[in-house]
Amino acid sequence: MTFVTRFAPSPTGPLHLGHAYSALLAHDMARAADGRFLLRIEDIDQTRCRAEWEAQIFDDLTWLGIRWDEPAVRQSERLDIYAEALLGLWHSHVLYPCSCTRRDIAAAMSAPQEGVQPAIGPDGLLYPGTCREETVRMGKFPNQTALRLDMQDALQGIHSIEFSESGYQTKDQDRLIRYSSREVFQTVGDIVLSRKDFLGSYHLSVVLDDAAQDVTHVIRGEDLFEATKIHVLLQRLLGLPTPIYHHHALIRDDDGKRLAKRDDARAIATYRAEGKSPEDIRRMVGL
32 belongs to a structural domain: yes
**Both 272 and 232 in a single domain?**
no
281 belongs to a structural domain: yes
Residues spanned by the domain of 256: 1-77+252-287
**Both 127 and 88 in a single domain?**
yes
**Both 91 and 206 in a single domain?**
yes
**Both 92 and 35 in a single domain?**
no
State how beta strands 217-221 and 244-248 pair.
parallel
When pLDDT is averaged across residues 20-33 and rounded to a whole number, the result is 97
Q: What is the CATH number of the domain that holds 26?
A: 3.40.50.620
58 belongs to a structural domain: yes
**Both 156 and 38 in a single domain?**
no
**Both 32 and 154 in a single domain?**
no
8 belongs to a structural domain: yes
115 belongs to a structural domain: yes
**Both 96 and 6 in a single domain?**
no
245 belongs to a structural domain: no
Would you say 221 and 250 are in contact if contact means Cβ atoms under 8 Å apart? yes
Would you say 9 and 55 are in contact if contact means Cβ atoms under 8 Å apart? no
247 belongs to a structural domain: no
pLDDT at 172: 59
1 belongs to a structural domain: yes
pLDDT at 115: 53
Number of domains in the chain: 2
Tens of pLDDT along 39-67? 999 999 888 999 999 999 999 999 999 99
Q: Which residues of 48-65 are buried (b: 16+ CB within 10 A; e: fewer)?
A: ebeeebbebbeebbeebe
**Both 181 and 140 in a single domain?**
yes
**Both 101 and 236 in a single domain?**
yes
Tens of pLDDT along 232-261? 999 999 999 999 999 999 988 776 677 666
Tell me the residue ranges of DSSP E strands in 83-182.
95-98, 120-121, 124-125, 146-149, 160-165, 175-180
**Both 271 and 227 in a single domain?**
no
Whether residue 155 is predicted with pLDDT greater than 80 in this model: the reply is yes
Tens of pLDDT along 158-172? 999 999 998 765 555
pTM of the model: 0.91
